[in-house]
Structure 1
């Protein structure tokens, strides 16, 4: 009761600036943020359903000298955000957008609508239970960028983990009320590498009390773990769901040593795995029994499939899944709109940045 009374008093007597969104809702500056955090408040996102929680988007510079900045989108919990944990979500790829996938196709409060015209409310959003922070990482993914070309040549797991760690501490300066909040890191796909590596950096740095982050755990869905095991799992899954024949599966089992330095040096192995990948091109790998999008796919040409024969599955494309098979196309259309980029504090609304769901 005391807390509710305090809210009423603030709404009546506060002299803080008040901002209104496109639905007429008025937001008083959050006392738990500094001025930079409040500047990232999203108030005019085109096509957004009316909601009763705040959300923020913008850049955090992780390296001043090189001009390296990561883009984030943060949603407060729908109820009692001051009492809910903070969850950082990372998508995989590597090189796929946590905003394009996690935030607006999977677990965020808004889902991209048909042809990128707007957003629809997601009743299963994770921000019903936690404050959700989606990060486009590493640089070059989504809206995240560097002004130094050589940064893109340095990209790797360690580089990404250190940038993500720097992001967290800079983000806490914008949102100081979350500095000591219970914290989790979650992700899918190649985040099976990103998440534990970031957790390890946090664990090591937590030895300094001034840098302490209250990390309580990690959550991984369909994670990339071991390249060899992932290849075997992909092949066995295809066979067990009648994507490929018994004969093809037998050839792979007899000729592919995925634990070797170069399993593709065996022609029988390469040809048989090529058959698996060729079949996967024709379906939605994450939703085998639903239709595929009839529009041109980012991964529809033979050249893009050939990258799967790299020594590591890090190059494996994230083939889109879900009930609507064209969500990737909707996301691309939505995030390349000038008014959307302006609302998310990405651009001035005149010079549009080129956004893609995977780099």
Structure 2
């Protein structure tokens, strides 16, 4: 599962940790082997969720919301295990990033609660949940990024103090008033991989754009 509204197949599988990665070749889109694919260590199952994301669809009226998404994802896993019973007793880990900070925890809770009164055919052998760079809430996420940059000596004490004093991340309508300060922070994304400071360098045009902090009026 990927972030809110994102296709796990289109991004997580094809751009991050699947066996094949989609790249821009000289003659257009191309595929290449991923030397760091996670299926070297485990079986991978990518789920486009909620309904309507990526390759996921439904012919009936769908009720959206995190609770319904967790319920639907659990139902999918149960049906998948019925279709492939050889994996019934396999350890299951739920992994995701971004909005997984909400969805993965709720799916894990739905599976845990469902397992309490489950039969062997309706249980899921959940062992853990993994989230990377999770969205929790605006205030925590935004200030956490600023504190992280400051703690790594990537922004000055003065800029950190000004953002702390001038930016009210608990009120999304006031974030725009500190946009000049955030622009100074966002300059880091032009010179360094903020998503993985200590990994090997890579061309800037391959970095995942959009993780920088900014005001979204929508």
Two-structure CA RMSD over aligned residues (Å): 3.1
Describe the shift of the 1:133–1:212 C-alpha distance in structure 2 as closer, same or farther (beyond 3 A).
same
Count of residues paired in the alignment: 204
Distance in 1 (alpha carbons) for counterparts of 2:54 and 2:15: 15
Distance in 2 (alpha carbons) for counterparts of 1:147 and 1:235: 44
Matches within 5 A, 1:1-359: 90-92=1-3, 94-115=4-25, 117-148=29-60, 151=62, 154-210=63-119, 211-239=122-150, 247-258=158-169, 260=170, 262=171, 264-265=173-174, 270-273=176-179, 275-276=181-182, 280=186, 283=190, 285-286=194-195, 290-293=202-205, 306-307=215-216
Distance in 2 (alpha carbons) for counterparts of 1:226 and 1:306: 14
Deviation at 1:161, TM superposition (A): 0.7
Give the TM-score normalised by structure 1.
Answer: 0.49
Deviation at 1:225, TM superposition (A): 2.7
What stretches of structure 1 move > 4 A for 4+ residues in a row?
A: 238-248, 287-291
Q: Looking at both structures, which has the greater relative contact order when contacts are Cα pairs under 8 Å and sequence separation is at least 6?
A: 1
Q: For structure 2, which runs of at least 5 residues remain unmatched after alignment?
A: none
Does the 8 A contact of 1:244 with 1:276 survive in 2?
Answer: no
Describe the shift of the 1:277–1:98 C-alpha distance in structure 2 as closer, same or farther (beyond 3 A).
farther
Q: For structure 1, which runs of at least 5 residues remain unmatched after alignment?
A: 1-89, 300-304, 311-359
Deviation at 1:202, TM superposition (A): 0.5
Q: Which has the higher Rg, Structure 1 or Structure 2? A: 1
Distance in 1 (alpha carbons) for counterparts of 2:184 and 2:173: 16
Deviation at 1:172, TM superposition (A): 1.6
SS in 2 for 1:132: coil
